[in-house]
């Protein structure tokens, strides 16, 4: 068994405490790691006695990895083997704290935020000066773009350029330099084509108006007080939390959790503290409430108008359509998960607050009151959106054994939408947060999350109606996002979202019914599907991305349809949430 530590220094300490052998670092050109010139690496050979020395390893750091390989294979070919559970997982919690009332502590908080920006701007100026110097003198020695080199240069010059540096924690300046290293790394990777997504530009200097205040602490006094209301940070002291910290404090008090770092940030004129900690995984593995079920999740925005008996019309928005099939009884259930339009609900108030703010004198009481009203509406929209997505993902991972979700290209979806209101509705729903949350929550509950292929047309293939050649008929409609589609061969009217959820539920059992063609990385057009036209429409040429995921035929004995709303309560959808 091999143990990989976070740094080579930690690996050396583990080898000294346990008597294990510290293995060499990077392999040579032939893939071997037994060269005489190879420096010690982060791997330690634990043999078969890791559990007997677990306490010694955890006394150095809990951020380690385990592999089932042996030292001989690693020295010969550089293979570490398959990863094993280390017994720890990294998670985080965020708490809002009260702003200090006395001027001294309030100024100290602002000094930490300003010190981080000052260190960031100093490091950026140093990097730009080195770049300009190397243009005139190629032999000029520049500071390396890593945290260790920049911190060393900062410690040499801080006495002259920042004589007030002792008033703040040293982590203040380290946090700013670390952010600069990250920004430089993103720019370099984007320039070389190694980073996905949009092109990242060269870092710019940060001002107080453009940069949100935050500072990260990795060393020093960091703890949650036993009263479950206090959060202690280096230099700043104890800040009172506006909510109970029991969900983290009970683990740290019992030794099941270790705080890795804390980040204090300012948002909407309020202070927040994020606690990043490592939590020991439970010995007994948890299982979903329905382990023999598979859920196909069709994510998308769908507006509905329901007419009540008194003549009033109620607008309802569907965030996801979930088709669940029991793998034992083949019984199916269709659930439409509704979510509130968070931004749409407060958009009128935001517009009025913006008009009121524009008529006030900056710095006056009226200006502060109007700005408070504006931030209150924005804060509510963000919180409602996050809560609806958290409730959906918690319900799915706590209930179903296997979850199949589609891989959407949201950027292309918004590009293909003509009206600004359509693009805003997609952003307002928070669709991009669903798949990452399913991934990390499934590790806690034992559910299996499968991501279907992006180019599979789950909404267009008629589920369960195969043609003689083995392909499936394509559904047609008047518009591109019609709620109901028609099968040209049978004339059946099919609900678009229910059909897509069913095809996702069948993935990947019958995915071979449609041959998925590899697409270029820069292409936004889906491949041709059996039974479809090879010529894309004008909207598709402009970059519109179709929803895609596999499909198949399901033999269901019974289908039930129900609707779920975030207002129904969290405990009914996620029983594990109330148990914490």
Per-residue HEC secondary structure of 231-276 comes to EEECCCEEEEECCCCHHHHHHHHHCCEEEEEEEEEEECCEEEEEEE
Q: Of all residues in the chain, what percent are helix, strand and coil, respectively (each to 5)? A: 40, 25, 40
Please report where in the chains the tokens 């032939």 appear, as a residue: 30
Outline where 400-532 has alpha helix (H): 410-416, 420-429, 434-445, 496-505
Q: pTM of this prediction?
A: 0.79
Catalytic residue among 45, 178, 211, 298: 298
- 336 has catalytic annotation: no
Surface-to-core class of residue 534, CB atoms within 10 Å of its CB (0-12 exposed, 13-18 middle, 19+ buried): exposed
Report the C-alpha gap between 408 and 549 in whole angstroms: 9
- 497 has catalytic annotation: yes
Q: How far is CA 284 from CA 72, 87, 437, in A?
A: 33, 12, 22
Catalytic residue among 178, 402, 409, 497: 497
Contact 512, 317 (CB under 8 A): no
| Beta strands 400-405; 448-451: pairing state | parallel
Number of separate helices (H) and strands (E) present in the chain: 15, 22
Report the C-alpha gap between 514 and 516 in whole angstroms: 6
Distance of CA 238 to the CA centre of its chain: 29
Report the C-alpha gap between 139 and 127 in whole angstroms: 15
Please report where in the chains the tokens 């729903």 appear, as a residue: 429
Walk along the chain (580 residues) and give the pLDDT tens digit of each residue: 899 999 999 999 999 999 999 998 877 666 677 656 678 889 999 988 888 999 999 999 999 999 998 888 888 888 888 999 888 989 999 999 998 888 888 899 999 999 999 999 999 999 999 999 999 988 888 999 999 999 999 999 999 999 999 999 999 999 999 999 999 999 999 999 999 888 999 999 999 888 888 999 999 999 999 999 999 999 999 999 999 999 999 999 999 999 999 999 998 889 999 999 999 988 777 889 999 999 999 888 776 665 555 655 555 678 888 999 998 988 989 988 888 888 888 888 899 999 999 999 998 999 999 999 999 988 998 998 899 999 999 999 999 999 999 888 777 777 766 677 777 777 888 888 899 999 889 988 889 999 888 888 888 888 877 777 767 788 888 776 778 888 888 888 888 888 888 889 888 765 544 544 444 433 333 333 333 333 344 333 334 433 433 434 343 334 455 556 555 544 444 444 444 3
Beta strands in 138-269, from DSSP E residues, in sequence order: 214-217, 223-224, 230-233, 237-240, 257-267
**Phi, psi (rounded to 5 degrees) for 223:** -155, 160
- 82 has catalytic annotation: no
| Beta strands 83-84; 21-24: pairing state | unpaired
Catalytic residue among 179, 406, 409, 506: 406
Report the C-alpha gap between 340 and 165 in whole angstroms: 47
DSSP letters spanning 402-422: EEEE----HHHHHHH--SHHH
Report the C-alpha gap between 10 and 525 in whole angstroms: 49
**Phi, psi (rounded to 5 degrees) for 289:** -65, -35
Report the C-alpha gap between 536 and 524 in whole angstroms: 11
């Amino acid at each position: 068994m091999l143990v990989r530590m976070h740094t080579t220094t930690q690996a050396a300490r583990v080898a000294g405490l346990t008597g294990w052998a510290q293995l060499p670092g990077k392999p040579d050109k032939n893939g071997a790691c037994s060269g005489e010139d190879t420096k010690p690496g982060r791997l330690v050979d634990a043999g078969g006695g890791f559990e007997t020395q677990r306490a010694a390893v955890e006394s150095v750091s809990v951020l380690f990895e385990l592999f089932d390989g042996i030292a001989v294979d690693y020295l010969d070919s550089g293979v570490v083997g398959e990863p094993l559970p280390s017994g720890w997982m990294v998670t985080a919690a965020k708490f809002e704290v009260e702003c200090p009332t006395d001027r001294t502590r309030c100024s100290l908080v602002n000094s930490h935020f300003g010190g981080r920006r000052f260190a960031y701007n100093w490091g950026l100026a140093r990097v730009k000066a080195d770049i300009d110097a190397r243009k005139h003198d190629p032999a000029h020695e520049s500071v390396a773009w890593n945290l260790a080199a920049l911190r060393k240069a900062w410690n040499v010059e801080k006495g002259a350029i920042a004589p007030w540096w002792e008033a703040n924690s040293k982590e203040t300046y380290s946090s700013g330099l670390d952010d600069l290293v990250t920004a430089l790394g993103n720019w370099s990777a984007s320039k070389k084509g190694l980073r996905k997504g949009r092109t990242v530009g060269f870092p710019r200097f940060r001002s107080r108006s453009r940069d949100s205040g935050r500072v990260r602490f990795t060393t020093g006094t960091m703890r949650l007080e036993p009263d479950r209301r206090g959060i202690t940070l280096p230099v700043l002291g104890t800040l009172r939390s506006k909510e109970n910290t029991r969900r983290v404090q009970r683990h740290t008090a019992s030794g099941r959790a270790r705080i890795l770092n804390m980040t204090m940030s300012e948002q909407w004129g309020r202070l927040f503290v994020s606690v990043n900690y490592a939590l020991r995984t439970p010995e007994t593995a948890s299982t979903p409430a329905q382990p023999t079920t598979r859920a196909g999740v069709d994510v998308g925005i769908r507006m509905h108008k329901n007419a009540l008996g008194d003549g009033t019309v109620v607008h309802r928005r569907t965030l996801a359509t979930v088709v669940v099939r029991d793998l034992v009884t083949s019984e199916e259930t269709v659930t439409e998960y509704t979510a509130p339009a968070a931004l749409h609900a407060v958009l009128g108030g935001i517009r009025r607050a913006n008009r009121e703010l524009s008529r006030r004198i900056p710095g006056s009481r009226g200006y502060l009151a109007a700005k408070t009203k504006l931030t209150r509406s924005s804060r509510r929209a963000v919180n409602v959106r996050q809560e609806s997505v958290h409730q959906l993902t918690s319900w799915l991972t706590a209930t179903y054994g296997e979850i199949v979700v589609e891989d959407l290209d949201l950027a292309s979806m918004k590009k293909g939408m003509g009206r600004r209101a359509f693009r805003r509705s997609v952003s307002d729903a928070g669709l991009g947060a669903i798949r990452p949350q399913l991934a990390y929550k499934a590790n806690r509950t034992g559910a299996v999350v499968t991501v279907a292929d992006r180019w599979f047309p789950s909404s267009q293939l008629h589920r369960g109606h195969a043609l003689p050649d083995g392909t499936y008929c394509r559904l047609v409609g008047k518009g591109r996002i019609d709620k109901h589609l028609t099968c040209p061969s049978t004339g059946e009217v099919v609900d678009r979202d229910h059909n897509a959820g069913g095809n996702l539920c069948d993935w990947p059992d019958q995915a071979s019914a449609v041959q998925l063609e590899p697409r270029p990385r820069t292409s936004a057009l889906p491949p041709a599907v059996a039974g479809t036209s090879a010529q894309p429409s004008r909207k598709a040429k402009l970059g519109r991305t179709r929803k895609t995921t596999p499909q198949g035929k399901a033999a269901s004995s019974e289908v039930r349809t129900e609707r779920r709303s975030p207002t129904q309560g969290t405990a009914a959808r996620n029983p594990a949430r109330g148990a914490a």
